[in-house]
Amino acid sequence: MDRADVVARYDEELDTEAYADVDASANGLQVGSEEGEVEHVAFAVDAAEATIEAAADAGADLLVTHHGLVWGGLDRVTGRAYDRIAPLVENDIGLYVSHLPLDGHQSRGNAAGVADRLELESREPFGELGPVHIGQRGRASRTYTVGELREALDELDNGGESTRVLDFGPDEISEVAVVTGSGVDWLSEAEAVGADALVTGEGKQQAYHEAREAGLNVFLAGHYATETFGVRSLAALAQEWGLDVTYLDFPTGL
């Protein structure tokens, strides 16, 4: 398949353009030419030396990641930036990135994947960011206790680290809001929509007091662990297109 065709299909599926004004990430094709053929695609959460080298070892023509290399501009290609970009160029591997579009996609995105795992129903977009959303909320098909929801999230691959909980909300949890990665900035929105719990990846100092004052449970299941779903979904889509795929798993425990 033409690389340009793969890029265009992903851009259309993820509505990449809708996030252009709100995302610091340069989404879409970050490294490489749109010319050329793609037969083998590698997928990873992070574009790092380890995943790029693994993609080269796998013989991939394209690497698709959630976290890319360009955030608000790239001034110099030296040091660590060079060490990451050079093997992509040397091995003619394109880098396609989808950050917030892949968080917010309501069926293929990271939050949707977490919601699937927790069996949430009656879902709606959540995590408002300007004109778009980067999360999802819904009602659990069965009521969770705090401990049960923690156990369900501990099944995610977080490098052996367990889920941290700010258990300031109700003992029984039905309404759950999800913003993957670093999502505690949407704690007030979770309170406003009547959620019993906010599920995200990592926290910030002020979230402790905000959760306590809001009477809300906050589950910190790991930035990496909550953001594997989107790239896995894009890998499945590539398989439907007849491409060979490799998933590269490098959990950080964070």
CATH code for position 240: 3.40.1390.30
Let me know whether 114 and 209 are in one domain. yes
Q: Is the pLDDT of residue 159 over 90?
A: no
Does some domain include residue 254? Answer: no
Contacting residues for 80 by C-beta, under 8 A, at least 6 apart: none
Let me know whether 70 and 21 are in one domain. yes
Q: Is the pLDDT of residue 39 over 90?
A: yes
Let me know whether 139 and 151 are in one domain. yes
Is there a binding annotation on residue 227? Answer: yes
Let me know whether 78 and 152 are in one domain. no
Q: Is the pLDDT of residue 93 over 90?
A: yes
Q: Is the pLDDT of residue 133 over 90?
A: yes
Is there a binding annotation on residue 223? Answer: yes
| Average pLDDT estimate for 155-162 | 87
Q: Is the pLDDT of residue 74 over 90?
A: no
Polymer length in residues for the chain:
254
Q: Could you give the C-alpha distances from 194 to 139, 169, 203, 213, 237, in angstroms and in order?
A: 11, 11, 20, 14, 34
Mean pLDDT of all residues belonging to the chain: 97
Q: Is the pLDDT of residue 187 over 90?
A: yes
What are the tens digits of pLDDT across the range 43-65? 999 999 999 999 999 999 999 99
Helix (H) or strand (E) holding 150: helix 146-154
d(CA 158, CA 225): 5
Number of domains forming the structure of the chain = 2
Using 50, 70 and 90 to split pLDDT, how confident is the model at 21?
A: very high
Report the amino acid identity of residue 159. G
d(CA 121, CA 124): 9
Per-residue model confidence (pLDDT) at position 160: 85
**Residues of the chain with pLDDT > 70: what percent?**
100
Does some domain include residue 153? Answer: yes
Q: Is the pLDDT of residue 181 over 90?
A: yes
Cα atoms in the 13 Å half-sphere on the side-chain side of 18 = 17
pTM of the full structure: 0.96
Per-residue model confidence (pLDDT) at position 75: 84
Does some domain include residue 116? Answer: yes
Is there a binding annotation on residue 99? Answer: no
Let me know whether 111 and 149 are in one domain. yes
Let me know whether 177 and 206 are in one domain. yes
On the 0-12 / 13-18 / 19+ scale of CB atoms within 10 A, 121 is: exposed
d(CA 103, CA 15): 12
Let me know whether 8 and 33 are in one domain. yes
Is there a binding annotation on residue 209? Answer: no
Report the amino acid identity of residue 196. D
Let me know whether 219 and 237 are in one domain. no
Contact, 49 vs 86, CB < 8 A?
Answer: no
d(CA 221, CA 254): 9
Does some domain include residue 252? Answer: no
Let me know whether 211 and 107 are in one domain. yes
Q: Is the pLDDT of residue 190 over 90?
A: yes
Is there a binding annotation on residue 191? Answer: no
Let me know whether 48 and 146 are in one domain. no
Q: Is the pLDDT of residue 221 over 90?
A: yes
Q: Could you give the C-alpha distances from 188 to 9, 37, 128, 151, 195, in angstroms and in order?
A: 35, 46, 11, 25, 10
Does some domain include residue 253? Answer: no
- In the chain, which ranges are E strands? 28-31, 40-46, 62-67, 94-97, 120-129, 132-145, 164-167, 172-178, 197-200, 217-220, 244-247
Let me know whether 69 and 150 are in one domain. no
Bigger pLDDT: 58 vs 75: 58
Let me know whether 151 and 214 are in one domain. yes
Using 50, 70 and 90 to split pLDDT, how confident is the model at 72?
A: confident
On the 0-12 / 13-18 / 19+ scale of CB atoms within 10 A, 4 is: middle
Per-residue model confidence (pLDDT) at position 155: 95
| Average pLDDT estimate for 79-97 | 97
- Name the one residue in this structure whose structure tokens are 């505690």: 184
Domain boundaries, position 119: 103-223
